[in-house]
């Protein structure tokens, strides 16, 4: 299960809306299964159909996570016009089986957030809990 504070969920939905018509991306960091921080990153592809993270921003985000005693729990990105499920490209590019892959879909009136584990090309839906608690 991935535990996502409501404040972080709202922030990544807002980022997805502001980024339209392009996909947005970033990291979710925390400890255990609990996210406490998000790191919006630039989609260097500037595309509505795929994303690539800016390597210098990735490095800076991971460096800050480590300094705070956090670790990357998930990579997130948005799907502006398609459902919250990994595309063939998302699956092909999912290199780290230890983290979650979170997708924010804006295809419907109400945004949908789903989390997945992807291992060796196999996708499984991961439970996600939106928490109202404030996590430091």
Q: What is the pTM of this model?
A: 0.93
Query: What pLDDT digit, counting tens, does each position of 3-44 carry?
Result: 999 999 999 999 999 999 999 999 999 999 999 999 999 999
Query: 132 pLDDT band (50/70/90 cuts)?
Result: confident
Query: What pLDDT digit, counting tens, does each position of 52-90 carry?
Result: 999 999 999 999 999 999 999 999 999 999 999 999 999
Query: What pLDDT digit, counting tens, does each position of 94-127 carry?
Result: 989 899 999 999 999 999 999 999 999 999 999 9
Instruction: Go through the domains of the chain in sequence order and give each one's CATH number.
Output: 2-131 (3.40.140.10)
Pairing of strands 25-31, 2-5: unpaired
Question: Beta-carbon neighbour count of residue 132 at 10 Å?
Answer: 7
Q: In Å, what is the CA distance from 6 to each residue of 21, 35, 113, 115? A: 24, 10, 11, 15
pLDDT for 48: 86
Whether 35 contacts 8, CB under 8 Å: yes
In angstroms and rounded to an integer, the radius of gyration of the C-alpha atoms of the chain is 14
């Amino acid at each position: 299960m991935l535990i996502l504070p409501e404040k972080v969920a709202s922030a990544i939905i807002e980022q997805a809306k502001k980024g339209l018509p392009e996909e947005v991306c970033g990291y979710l960091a925390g400890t255990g299964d609990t996210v406490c921080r998000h790191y919006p990153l630039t989609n260097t592809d500037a595309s509505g159909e795929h994303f690539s993270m800016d390597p210098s921003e990735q490095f800076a985000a991971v460096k800050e996570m480590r300094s705070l005693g956090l670790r990357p729990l998930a990579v997130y990105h948005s799907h502006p016009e398609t459902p919250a499920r990994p595309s063939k490209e998302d699956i092909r590019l999912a290199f780290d089986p230890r983290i979650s892959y979170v997708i924010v879909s804006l295809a419907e009136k109400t945004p949908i957030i789903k989390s997945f584990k992807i291992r060796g090309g196999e996708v499984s839906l991961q439970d996600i809990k939106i928490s109202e608690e404030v996590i430091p």
